[in-house]
């Protein structure tokens, strides 16, 4: 796909996205990956904390090591790149200045202090879980954005997080909502099979 090809809207991308585990040999231009990340970074988070961090692994040797860490799942080795989607609350809170909206500048110091106090009270494990949950919103945006820009993707939780941390030299507190194999599609994947709306929704009029 060229970087000027049609971009799907959100509803179109949601309707057509399925996991793709076979890819062409074509690398994905960095410019296109940046377009995807530019859409995904718009995800909301409480207090605008944005705890997600991403590593884009295109290095062939590192990809093979990641495949081992993902219990040999073939789509990892086959992918043009693998996106490691992580959550790092320690980093997010250390740089709290960079998520406070400029419109709140007057109250910034107080806000940062109260947000940090909130997470201190919560404790490290709960705070880590909190960041993990919020980073999954980013993951959802990312999967839709990949589809919108014509990139096949396979999100995965089938991997050993300790090994991924070791490969990327990341500290223990970093968690991973998913690793995502990406590449231009060489298969159609399975048809979507999802609950109908009334299986998961109750309208209380």
Ligand X SMILES: Cc1cc2nc3c(=O)[nH]c(=O)nc-3n(C[C@H](O)[C@H](O)[C@H](O)COP(=O)(O)O)c2cc1C
Closer residue to ligand X in complex, CB, 96/174: 174
Helix (H, G, I), strand (E, B) or coil at 194: coil
Closer residue to ligand X in complex, CB, 111/137: 137
Closer residue to ligand X in complex, CB, 17/165: 17
Give CA–CA dist 24/30, Å, rounded. 16
Least distance in angstroms from the C-beta of 86 to ligand X: 13
Tell me which residue has tokens 């399975």. 190
Closer residue to ligand X in complex, CB, 76/96: 76
Closer residue to ligand X in complex, CB, 57/178: 178
Give CA–CA dist 81/65, Å, rounded. 13
Least distance in angstroms from the C-beta of 165 to ligand X: 17
Using CB positions, name the residue nearest to ligand X.
Answer: 158
Least distance in angstroms from the C-beta of 195 to ligand X: 12
Residues that bind ligand X (CB under 6 A): 18-19, 73, 155-158, 178, 189-190, 192
Rounded alpha-carbon distances, angstroms, from residue 11 to 51, 86, 172: 26, 26, 37
Give CA–CA dist 152/22, Å, rounded. 8
Least distance in angstroms from the C-beta of 53 to ligand X: 17
Least distance in angstroms from the C-beta of 147 to ligand X: 10
**Angle at 54 (CA atoms; ends 50, 58), nearest 5 degrees:** 165
């Amino acid at each position: 796909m060229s970087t000027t090809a049609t971009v799907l809207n959100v509803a179109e991308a949601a309707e057509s996205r399925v996991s793709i585990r076979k890819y062409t040999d074509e690398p994905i231009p960095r410019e296109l990956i940046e377009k995807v990340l530019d859409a995904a970074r718009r995800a909301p988070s409480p207090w605008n904390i944005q705890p997600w961090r991403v590593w884009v692994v295109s290095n062939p040797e590192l990809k093979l090591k990641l495949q081992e860490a993902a219990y040999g799942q073939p789509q990892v080795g086959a992918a043009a790149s693998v996106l490691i989607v992580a959550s790092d609350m320690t980093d997010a809170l250390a740089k709290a200045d960079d998520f406070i909206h400029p419109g709140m500048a007057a109250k910034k110091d107080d806000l940062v202090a109260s947000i940090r106090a909130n997470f201190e009270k919560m404790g490290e494990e709960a705070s880590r879980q909190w960041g993990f949950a919020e980073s999954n919103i980013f993951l959802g945006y990312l999967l839709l954005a990949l589809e919108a820009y014509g990139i096949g993707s396979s999100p995965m939780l089938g991997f050993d997080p300790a090994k991924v941390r070791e490969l990327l030299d990341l500290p223990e507190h970093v968690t991973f909502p998913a690793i995502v194999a990406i590449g231009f599609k060489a298969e159609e994947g399975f048809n979507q099979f999802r609950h109908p709306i009334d299986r998961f929704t109750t309208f209380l009029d």
